[in-house]
Amino acid sequence: MRKSNNKWRPYAHEQKGAQGVRKNSGLKSDGDAATNASKGKTAMSQNKKSSRRVNPVYVVIRKFKDLWAAYDEDMQNTKTKRATLNMAVRLCPKYYSDSFRFWQDLLDEANLLLDSKRFEKACSAWKLEPKAVAEHLVCEGKATLNKVLKEGLENYGQKARMFTERLYDDSRNLYSNTGSETKTPENANSSEVEKSA
């Protein structure tokens, strides 16, 4: 269906060249540049697209979904899902230089669900770990995440019961406080005394 104004027409025969300059852009092409300038119309202002920022996590999630669909159902488990997410990150170097940054952004998106008391109640009623379910739901996409936030986990269905293991594997203990102690003068002195004894 054609729009009534001359700003944009999505028909291939009306477009010209690889730059996407349209034939009928509302400008006079008879060399009457003064008339066009007085109206304030330029080719650049007519053809400029509005850009929309997309969250890079969901760019990787889209790539992940394409890769994930190729696996058989018997191959689809949490370990394979984790590996496929890491592969999708490597296939999108424009957005993430390493997988650690991706995982941090994914956990930030999961925190949107974890802030919901209704979500936590539903997880506890089904005896599920809320962090694990939230991470898997982020991998389902932004629309699913928003639907669960708006309508609750109960409306998502029984599929949520499969999300038992966490996707983010903190095997390097990057966030644990037990592995790293801050050295204070008292700690440093006491450890030196123990070594000398």
Per the rule left: phi > 0, alpha: psi between -120 and 50, beta: everything else, 31 is left
Confidence (pLDDT) at 4: 52
Distances (CA, A) of 29 to 20, 41, 152: 17, 12, 56
Tell me the β-bridge partners of 21: 16
- Looking at the fold, whether 118 and 82 belong to one and the same domain comes out as yes
Same-domain pairing of 68 and 110: yes
| Domain of 18, in residue numbers | 1-42
pLDDT of residue 122: 92
pLDDT given at position 142: 93
Structural domains of the chain, count:
2
Do 27 and 72 belong together in one domain? no
15-16 and 21-22 as β-strands: parallel, antiparallel, unpaired?
antiparallel
Are 73 and 32 contained in the same domain?
Answer: no
Measured distance CA(89)–CA(135) in Å, rounded? 16
Domain identity same for 117 and 31: no
Task: Output the tens digit of pLDDT for each of the chain's 197 residues.
Answer: 545 555 555 554 545 454 554 444 444 444 554 554 445 444 444 555 657 788 899 999 999 999 999 988 888 888 999 999 999 999 999 999 888 899 999 999 999 999 999 999 999 999 999 999 999 999 999 999 999 999 988 888 788 888 888 988 876 665 555 544 544 444 444 444 444 44
CA distance 139 to 129: 16
Q: What is the pLDDT of residue 95?
A: 92
Both 70 and 155 in one domain: the answer is yes
What is residue 67's predicted lDDT score, i.e. its pLDDT? 93
Say if 137 falls within a structural domain.
yes
pLDDT of residue 172: 64
Residues 79 and 35 in one domain: no
Q: What is the predicted pLDDT for the residue at 184? A: 42
Same domain, 151 and 64: yes
The residue type at 75: M
Residues 32 and 97 in one domain: no
- Coil, strand or helix: which one is 170? coil
